[in-house]
Amino acid sequence: MSEAKRQSKGPVRGYFFDKSVVVTGASSGIGHGVALAFGEQGAQVALLARRRAQLEELAQKINKAGGKALALDCDVTDRARVLWAIEQVKEAFGGVDILINSAGLLLSDPVEQMRPEDLEKMMAVNVFGALNAMQAVLPVMRKANSGSIVNISSLAGRRGVSPLGGYSSTKFALVGMTEALRIELFNTGIKVSLVMPGVIDTPMARDALKHDSLKGVSTMMAMPARWVTWAVLAAAAFGLTEVDVPPGAAVVEKLASLFPGVTDALLSVGTGIMRRAGALMGGSDQPEHKAKR
Ligand SMILES: NC(=O)c1ccc[n+]([C@@H]2O[C@H](COP(=O)([O-])OP(=O)(O)OC[C@H]3O[C@@H](n4cnc5c(N)ncnc54)[C@H](OP(=O)(O)O)[C@@H]3O)[C@@H](O)[C@H]2O)c1
């Protein structure tokens, strides 16, 4: 929202006005868009990621848009640092109403060639990073008898896809952990939601599509990041259990799991078709080399 537009409307009083929101992975892609959207609603937003410069830049945008931002450089795999960051948030904003776990890492490879250390790195961010953040905010939310946690998993967390076997397994783990936590928090006033996006146009997806086996698949087939922003805001506002992007996609995956052999064949053929279509639509400019790490 522009400064002139904001002044003409008076102070920002959105649905999340004055809420204290923690967003991990706020320096890029989905987390960046989500943090900005909360800020534009007048929320107090804590921005967590490792790249400080990007967080500072976003903090300025949020402050200009009528929100209040706190940039905290924090590696979510460092449990002590995450606990420190949440202490800073409590001091600055007086509590934590909402946690969005968006920090994530994707390293693609077929399972046969996958390096165990790559899987460990993804587990550290996608599973343990989310766990660290949840365990840091839960005592605060328990005390307040309210709160909302939104974990960004993936459609690859309901159905394994190649060459994302390692990534898929981390997202399956996050789904399992989130569903178990939801039972533990039943009737406490704390809501736990899953957002399950398909391919979204962010630096993560653009990097993944450079992999040899996805060469030719174009980012033109990816959905805009703002679709996930809307899903996350809806999940936090209404305490929705699960929101798929696009809507209903995970339901299709659940049905497909009744026919795993057929689904495997369709995915195998479908990836080939997508690669050819992507090449026709201009995706053939994908680099020839393997994705850098
Ligand atoms: N894009 C997609 O197609 C897609 C689809 C389904 C699900 N998702 C999920 O959506 C979430 C956001 O992904 P994205 O597409 O927005 O990716 P992105 O643009 O690559 O952003 C990833 C974010 O995670 C942060 N991060 C990575 N490692 C971290 C660490 N150790 N500590 C703290 N922050 C860390 C990065 O910040 P720093 O590097 O500054 O630390 C960055 O802000 C991820 O969980 C991803 O798995 C994405």
- Per-residue HEC secondary structure of 96-155 comes to CCEEEECCCCCCCECCCCCCHHHHHHHHHHHHHHHHHHHHHHHHHHHHHCCEEEEEECCH
230 burial class (0-12, 13-18, 19+ CB within 10 angstroms)? middle
- Ligand 1 environment, Cβ below 6 A: 24-25, 27-31, 49-51, 75-77, 102-106, 125, 129, 152, 154, 197, 199-200, 202-205
Q: Which of 22, 23, 28 to mutate to test the pocket of ligand 1 (most atoms within 8 A of CB)?
A: 28
**Exposure string (b/e) for 177-196, b if CB count within 10 Å is 16 or more?**
bbeebbeebeeeebbbbbbb
Domains and CATH numbers, the chain: 12-203+220-254 (3.40.50.720)
Q: What pLDDT score was predicted for residue 270?
A: 75
Q: What pLDDT score was predicted for residue 218?
A: 67
CA distances from 183 to 100, 133, 164, 178 (A): 19, 18, 29, 9
Confirm if 182 and 176 have CB atoms less than 8 A apart: no
Low pLDDT (below 50) residues in the chain: 1-2, 4, 6, 8, 283-293
Measured between alpha carbons, how far is 62 from 249 in angstroms, rounded to an integer?
32
Q: What pLDDT score was predicted for residue 279?
A: 62
Q: What pLDDT score was predicted for residue 253?
A: 86
The tens digit of pLDDT for each residue in 24-69 reads 999 999 999 999 999 999 999 999 999 999 999 999 999 999 999 9
